[in-house]
Amino acid sequence: MNVFVLCTGRCGSTTFARACRHITNFTAAHESNLGRLGPERLDYPDQHIEIDNRLAWFLGRLDRRYGDQAFYVHLRRERGATARSYAGRNGLGFLLHAYVRGIHAGLPDEVDWEAAARDLCDTIDANIALFLKDKSRAMAFALESARADFRTFWSRIGAQGDLEAALAEWDVCHNAGDDGGTLHALPADYLAQMERRLPGEADGFLAVGRFDDTEAHLAHLRKEFLGQPELNFTLAATLVRIRRGEDLARNLLLFWQLLAHPRTCRFLAENLSLRWLVAVADTLADHAAPADAAAALLLVTLANLVKLAETEHRLLRDPRYDQAALERLAEQFAVPLFGGMTLYHPKRGDMPRNLLARIERQLAHHPFLRVAFGRLKRTLQEEPNLLRRLAAYNDRFWA
């Protein structure tokens, strides 16, 4: 028997897939056939549970292929929370953007994205409800009663495996959105940590190196955060534990909660050093959903390429630009480099400006990465680095 979990998205589908991994007599996957066209898009093995919000756009073909022989779940979350989560993901490449600019082509440039998200959710849920009208094996599943409904689901499909481990997955907020709608509220003490500071004076100490013992490593790391808000160190310590794979479920839950809560998300994005902003982006790249992971990698790549350029700059015997070479390069239109690429033109080139603009657009949907990128860009404009040096020769380097 095949099982299909149909939903709008932004409603717990990632967590549903994680919970199903504890079932031993079914395989389970989340959006496993993305990138396939034609019959292959709906080609799933028997005894498989597929969780994919995009199946709502293939319901006619799904009915033709599986009909009443499959078991169907209509997964839902409170409409307002789903819409708020969707509204923050309106950039190019996201479903809401395609719905507004493609299916609803002709809407004005200024769009109420939350209203559009509500319309999207209503459309998808209505399509699913109509599809399920003649299905004899189907159930409704509410995110707000996930534990109870998952027990029912387990029984209805005859699942075998570790039910308690599956239920525990619903205590972890996987793929959190930016609406603060985590499965558990952030404990009040973490909000208070924004006001409290670690005792001691900040002296510019950087905790480099690695201690095998985690507690010894964190004691060393703590010195870097003296005089800073406690929440900065809490987040850094959480990243260390995630990187080491220690109590991963609990530490990832805290990480998602800190980024999902509007106050802590904004606070950390504005108060962490760039070093730790990049560490947060690294963690998103490792553990977030594909779209957010790809967005995070844009920030990580930019920061680390500038870091490599500065490392080489320090290794050069004479780091000053050769002015004669600079003038010769400026007089030429295209200087071959490798693979058909050419050197950047220092006085007329627009590549850095376009690159930064594209990254900024792609990060605009994410509340943490958007602010983090703004801080990185300002630092690149103000502190000595490759981009600032090149900007001195191009009046339109930044904008």
The answer to whether residue 178 is domain-embedded is no
Residue 175 pLDDT level (bands cut at 50, 70, 90): low
Based on the fold, state whether residues 358 and 332 are members of the same structural domain: yes
- The last residue of a domain, from among 239, 272, 305: 272
Q: Residue 41 and residue 226: Cα distance in Å, rounded?
A: 54
Q: Residue 168 and residue 147: Cα distance in Å, rounded?
A: 9
Q: Kindly give the interhelix angle for 248-260 and 274-287, rounded to the nearest 10 degrees.
A: 120
The answer to whether residue 132 is domain-embedded is yes
The answer to whether residue 57 is domain-embedded is yes
The tens digit of pLDDT for each residue in 25-69 reads 999 999 999 889 999 999 999 999 999 999 999 999 999 999 999
In this predicted model, which residue has the larger pLDDT, 5 or 332?
5
The answer to whether residue 7 is domain-embedded is yes
Q: Residue 217 and residue 210: Cα distance in Å, rounded?
A: 6
In this predicted model, which residue has the larger pLDDT, 279 or 85?
279
The answer to whether residue 397 is domain-embedded is no
0.75 surpassed by pTM: no
Count of domains observed in the chain: 3
The answer to whether residue 378 is domain-embedded is yes
The tens digit of pLDDT for each residue in 211-258 reads 999 999 999 999 999 999 999 999 999 999 999 999 888 888 889 888
Based on the fold, state whether residues 24 and 135 are members of the same structural domain: yes
What's the pLDDT score for residue 213? 94
What's the pLDDT score for residue 329? 75
Based on the fold, state whether residues 149 and 227 are members of the same structural domain: no
pLDDT at 319 over 80: no
* 77 close to 142: Cβ distance less than 8 angstroms: yes
Alpha helices in 161-289 (DSSP H): 163-168, 188-192, 214-222, 230-243, 248-260, 262-271, 274-287
pLDDT at 259 over 90: no
* Chain mean pLDDT for the chain: 89
The tens digit of pLDDT for each residue in 191-217 reads 899 999 999 988 888 888 889 999 999
Based on the fold, state whether residues 132 and 202 are members of the same structural domain: no
Residue 185 pLDDT level (bands cut at 50, 70, 90): low
CB neighbourhood size of 30 (10 A): 22
The residue whose two tokens read 């981009």 is: 387
What's the pLDDT score for residue 91? 74
Q: Residue 342 and residue 222: Cα distance in Å, rounded?
A: 46
Q: Kindly give the interhelix angle for 290-315 and 367-382, rounded to the nearest 10 degrees.
A: 20
**Residue 165 maps to which CATH number?**
3.40.50.300
* 314 close to 385: Cβ distance less than 8 angstroms: no
Based on the fold, state whether residues 32 and 130 are members of the same structural domain: yes
* 264 close to 190: Cβ distance less than 8 angstroms: yes
Based on the fold, state whether residues 22 and 104 are members of the same structural domain: yes
Q: Residue 170 and residue 184: Cα distance in Å, rounded?
A: 10
Write the DSSP string, 31-52.
Answer: STTTT--GGGGG---SSEEEE-
Q: What Cα–Cα distance (Å) separates residue 333 from each residue in 351, 355, 397?
A: 14, 20, 17
The tens digit of pLDDT for each residue in 272-289 reads 999 999 999 999 998 887
Bridge pairing between strands 27-30 and 138-142: unpaired
Q: Residue 33 and residue 43: Cα distance in Å, rounded?
A: 8
The answer to whether residue 398 is domain-embedded is no
Closest C-alpha among 202, 200, 186, 201 to residue 235: 186
Q: Kindly give the interhelix angle for 248-260 and 262-271, rounded to the nearest 10 degrees.
A: 90
pLDDT at 4 over 50: yes
The tens digit of pLDDT for each residue in 338-394 reads 887 888 888 888 999 999 999 998 888 788 999 999 999 999 999 999 999 999 989
Report residue 211 as tokens.
């201690």
- The last residue of a domain, from among 129, 146, 171: 171
* 292 close to 368: Cβ distance less than 8 angstroms: no
pLDDT at 184 over 70: no
Based on the fold, state whether residues 167 and 204 are members of the same structural domain: no
Tell me the residue range of the domain where 124 lies: 3-171
Based on the fold, state whether residues 58 and 149 are members of the same structural domain: yes
Based on the fold, state whether residues 331 and 242 are members of the same structural domain: no
Q: Residue 270 and residue 267: Cα distance in Å, rounded?
A: 5
Based on the fold, state whether residues 47 and 120 are members of the same structural domain: yes
Closest C-alpha among 348, 310, 314 to residue 329: 348
Q: Which residues pair with 5 in a beta bridge?
A: 51, 73
What's the pLDDT score for residue 43? 97
pLDDT at 182 over 50: no
Identify the burial level of 51 via C-beta atoms within 10 angstroms of its C-beta, where 0-12 means exposed, 13-18 middle and 19 or more buried.
Answer: buried
Based on the fold, state whether residues 164 and 232 are members of the same structural domain: no
5-9, 48-52, 312-316: range with lowest mean pLDDT: 312-316
pLDDT at 321 over 50: yes
The answer to whether residue 177 is domain-embedded is no
- Strands of the chain, DSSP E: 3-6, 27-30, 48-51, 71-76, 138-142
Q: In one letter, which amino acid is 356?
A: L
* 376 close to 299: Cβ distance less than 8 angstroms: yes
- The last residue of a domain, from among 137, 171, 205: 171
Q: Residue 189 and residue 254: Cα distance in Å, rounded?
A: 12
Based on the fold, state whether residues 235 and 327 are members of the same structural domain: no
What's the pLDDT score for residue 93? 72
The tens digit of pLDDT for each residue in 295-304 reads 899 999 999 9
